[in-house]
């Protein structure tokens, strides 16, 4: 089990400052907030494509609740982006797990929904793989010799 150091946790009740919402990527967080409805609907759509049984288990009301919950989930992701603190989403997941258990929503369904939110991430993974491949071809992956660099520059 992961041990949490409480001396590093910012908390208003302890008199410590809250997280700095400009430390991470506040512009990206605003874009996520602006597109919450579209991203949430797309995430649910991807989750239903990956696991068609989700619709049968959740029913129409359950799917509406999951769609509503993606709004809150995306807000936590936006907070994590803005503050640079990835623990924002972990804390949210810790808080809502009992609520989902009470609603009899399997955690696998939440993982599937999270994977639906990660659909854009798969596109980024492809781009990163391409950049890494070109990095190898161009020789960026290894440290260059100062002697060879000096020889090629002629000085």
- Report DSSP letters for 53-117, one per residue: HHHHHHHHHHHHHHHHHHHHHHHHHHHHHHH--THHHHHHHHHHHHHHHHTT--HHHHHHHHHHH
Q: Are 18 and 88 in contact (CB under 8 A)?
A: no
User: Would you say residue 135 has pLDDT above 80?
Assistant: no
- The more confident residue out of 88 and 138 is 88
- The more confident residue out of 10 and 146 is 146
Residue 138 has a CB neighbour count (10 Å cut-off) of: 8
In the chain, the percentage of residues whose pLDDT exceeds 70 is: 75
User: Would you say residue 53 has pLDDT above 70?
Assistant: yes
- H-helix or E-strand spanning residue 121: helix 119-138
pLDDT band at 13 (very low <50, low <70, confident <90, very high): confident
Mean residue pLDDT across the chain: 81
pTM (2 decimals)? 0.70
pLDDT band at 119 (very low <50, low <70, confident <90, very high): confident
């Amino acid at each position: 089990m992961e041990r949490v150091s409480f001396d590093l946790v910012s908390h208003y009740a302890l008199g410590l400052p809250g997280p700095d919402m400009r430390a991470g990527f506040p512009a990206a967080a605003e874009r996520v907030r602006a597109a919450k409805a579209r991203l949430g609907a797309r995430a649910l759509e991807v989750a239903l494509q990956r696991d068609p049984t989700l619709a049968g288990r959740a029913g129409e009301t359950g799917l509406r609740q999951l769609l509503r919950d993606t709004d809150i989930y995306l807000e936590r992701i936006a907070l994590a982006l803005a503050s640079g603190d990835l623990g924002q989403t972990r804390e949210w997941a810790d808080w809502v797990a009992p609520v989902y258990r009470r609603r009899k929503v399997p955690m696998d369904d939440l993982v599937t929904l999270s994977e639906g939110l990660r659909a854009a991430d798969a596109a980024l993974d492809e781009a990163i793989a391409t950049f890494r491949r070109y990095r190898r071809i161009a020789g960026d992956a290894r440290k260059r010799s100062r002697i060879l660099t000096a020889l090629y520059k002629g000085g």
